[in-house]
Amino acid sequence: DTAVSQTPKYLVTQMGNDKSIKCEQNLGHDTMYWYKQDSKKFLKIMFSYNNKELIINETVPNRFSPKSPDKAHLNLHINSLELGDSAVYFCASSQEQPGQGADFAPGELFFGEGSRLTVL
Amino acid sequence: DAKTTQPPSMDCAEGRAANLPCNHSTISGNEYVYWYRQIHSQGPQYIIHGLKNNETNEMASLIITEDRKSSTLILPHATLRDTAVYYCIVRVLYNFNKFYFGSGTKLNVKP
């Protein structure tokens, strides 16, 4: 069973298009994240949701809109794609409220395998 | 905002111990030290974390100095599969804090 799964793994699209990346976690975690890793390999946090509520919103263009229909899902929609949006997008989850199950270390982040977006 | 400093790269011979240092001189009393690694382009993977005491698990050992201003991740017998970028992160537990990843250390394990 994959703990954090993202789709699609690869996405190639033209500038100006709109695309979405989906993420699901089956760990029962209450917090989910989107990270962006650019060509220089820096891993930067974009958004964080706790129980469907937006907690962290870094300086990200308005073209990026996260949506969390429930605490197990966090999707990322990107409008009007630009060349600079090309990157690997990682979804992650963690348990930020104590007292849950003990199959992971407290505050441990679980990452998906990433979605490589290429904008042409 | 990463609040940690790591060397950009290190080499280690296969079978030897790899000691990866991290400086976190501005760490607060309630901040934990976490280590993650990223193999090639996979998602980062948790390794270990600690507050004050040294910690050991099946993957690695974490040595935290008494003043908590620095720590060392030890891979006791490095293998080629340990070649990865290793990230040291400090964060408060259960506080919805941002996980800031710095530039990490690229560990090259050589035969």
The answer for residues whose C-beta is within 8 angstroms of residue A36's C-beta and 6 or more apart is A43, A44, A46, A87, A88, A89, A90
> What residues in A contact B99, CB-CB < 8 Å?
33, 45, 92, 94, 109
Over 60: is that where the pLDDT of B1 sits?
no
What is residue B96's predicted lDDT score, i.e. its pLDDT? 64
If DSSP codes are grouped into helix, strand and coil, which group holds residue A83? Answer: helix
Decide if B96 and A55 are in contact by the 8 Å CB cutoff: yes
Residue A39 C-alpha from the chain's centroid: 17
The rounded radius of gyration (Å) of the Cα atoms in chain A is: 14
What is residue B14's predicted lDDT score, i.e. its pLDDT? 97
What is residue A33's predicted lDDT score, i.e. its pLDDT? 93
Residue segments in chain A with a per-residue pLDDT below the cut of 70: 1, 98-104
Decide if A108 and B46 are in contact by the 8 Å CB cutoff: yes
A106 in reach of chain B (CB within 8 A) = yes
> What residues in A contact B105, CB-CB < 8 Å?
none
Average pLDDT of B39-49? 92
What is residue B95's predicted lDDT score, i.e. its pLDDT? 66
Contact A40, A47 (CB under 8 A): no
The answer for residues whose C-beta is within 8 angstroms of residue B29's C-beta and 6 or more apart is none
In angstroms, rounded to a whole number, what is the distance separating the alpha carbons of residues B35 and B74?
A: 11
- Read off the pLDDT band of B2 (50, 70, 90): low
Q: What are the helix and strand counts (H, E) for chain A?
A: 0, 11
Over 80: is that where the pLDDT of B6 sits?
yes
A35: nearest Cα among A111, A120, A117 = A111
A97 in reach of chain B (CB within 8 A) = yes
A62: nearest Cα among A44, A84, A78 = A78
> What residues in A contact B96, CB-CB < 8 Å?
31, 48, 50, 55-56, 96
Decide if A112 and B44 are in contact by the 8 Å CB cutoff: no
Decide if A42 and B103 are in contact by the 8 Å CB cutoff: yes
Torsion angles phi and psi, residue B80, rounded to 5: -60, -30
Please tell me the distance in Å from A14's CA to the nearest CA on chain B: 23
In angstroms, rounded to a whole number, what is the distance separating the alpha carbons of residues B79 and B21?
A: 18
What is residue B104's predicted lDDT score, i.e. its pLDDT? 94
The answer for residues whose C-beta is within 8 angstroms of residue B58's C-beta and 6 or more apart is none
Tell how strand A10-13 and strand A115-119 pair up.
parallel
pLDDT tens digits for range B64-105 = 999 999 999 999 999 999 999 999 998 877 666 677 788 899
Decide if A105 and B44 are in contact by the 8 Å CB cutoff: no
Decide if A97 and B94 are in contact by the 8 Å CB cutoff: yes
Please tell me the distance in Å from B94's CA to the nearest CA on chain A: 5
Average pLDDT of B28-54? 91
DSSP B52-94: SS-EE-SS-EEEE-TTSSEEEEEETT--GGG-EEEEEEEEETT
Tokens 């035969």 correspond to what residue?
B111
Mean pLDDT across chain B = 91
What is residue B83's predicted lDDT score, i.e. its pLDDT? 97
What is residue B41's predicted lDDT score, i.e. its pLDDT? 82
Q: Which residue of B has its CA nearest to A47?
A: B98
